[in-house]
Amino acid sequence: MAEFRSIDSLPLFPLELVLFPGGYLPLRIFEVRYLDMVGKCFEADEPFGIVTLNRSASVFTASNKLSDKLGPVQDIFYPEGTLAYITQLSQPQPGLMMISCTGAQRFKVPQPELLKHGLWVGTAKLLPADQNVPIPEDLLPVAGALARVIDTLKAQGMTPEQMPVQPPYALHDCAWVANRWCDLLPMALAQKHRLMTLDNPLLRLELVSDLLEQNGIAT
């Protein structure tokens, strides 16, 4: 099995969402620990990691001692996540940052660490990037339905910053189409996270096709 490089001390941002590779994520940053993190990442043009909170776990503050209250870190957030690169940053007022991020490569942090000021960090092993797999003929309607959604959103007058699906559009690629549908479809966080962790983009697209049928979305 091939070895993939890792990132030491990757800052982690646990959120109640799943970021997919190629996804668009606007964020309002106001907590001191994340203002500092975002500022440093933006200056250095380095990513931070988006990890998904486990909603089945109890919520604790950063001051809680893990050894006393939390048990395994997986009870707080899943170990797999996605690198987020900041593409735009503005500071409309002191103590507030507005940023736009793009999802990049997936990673896994087996043993994250909680620093004294409340920021999670960890050594992140980068997972294999999705292979470029052409969409098979039987799943082309899934891509066609996504193209119609994009056209509809544009026709509604959304600005580029408001669009949940950002160019470049790769409507011929299994991973990109599956990922964008995962961005758009309503589903449980655990289910969405599981789809993100799948290494087979064709399988991910097949499962998305099933979800479209379950949601009554004609393809």
In a domain, 132, yes or no: no
Of 186, 194, 171, 189, give the one whose Cα is nearest residue 217: 186
Which of 126, 149, 165 terminates a domain? The answer is 126
Same domain, 104 and 192: no
Q: How far is CA 104 from the centre of its chain?
A: 8
Same domain, 10 and 98: yes
pLDDT beyond 50 at 64: no
Q: Do strands 96-108 and 77-93 pair parallel, antiparallel, or not at all (unpaired)?
A: antiparallel
The answer to whether residues 126 and 107 touch, using CB atoms and an 8 Å cutoff, is: yes
Which residue range is the domain that position 149 belongs to? 137-214
Length of the chain (residues): 219
In a domain, 83, yes or no: yes
| Tokens (6 digits) for 20 | 């997919």
Of 77, 5, 73, 19, give the one whose Cα is nearest residue 48: 19
| Composition of the chain by helix, strand, coil, percent to 5 | 35, 30, 40
Structure confidence at residue 218 (pLDDT): 60
Same domain, 86 and 185: no
Same domain, 121 and 154: no
Same domain, 39 and 117: yes
Same domain, 101 and 170: no
pLDDT band at residue 59 using 50, 70 and 90 as cut-offs: very low
What CATH code is carried by the domain that includes residue 175? Answer: 1.10.4060.10
Q: What is the mean pLDDT of residues 62-71?
A: 42
Number of domains in the chain: 2
pTM: 0.88
| Tokens (6 digits) for 175 | 């991973």
Same domain, 86 and 22: yes
Same domain, 63 and 32: yes
pLDDT beyond 60 at 143: yes
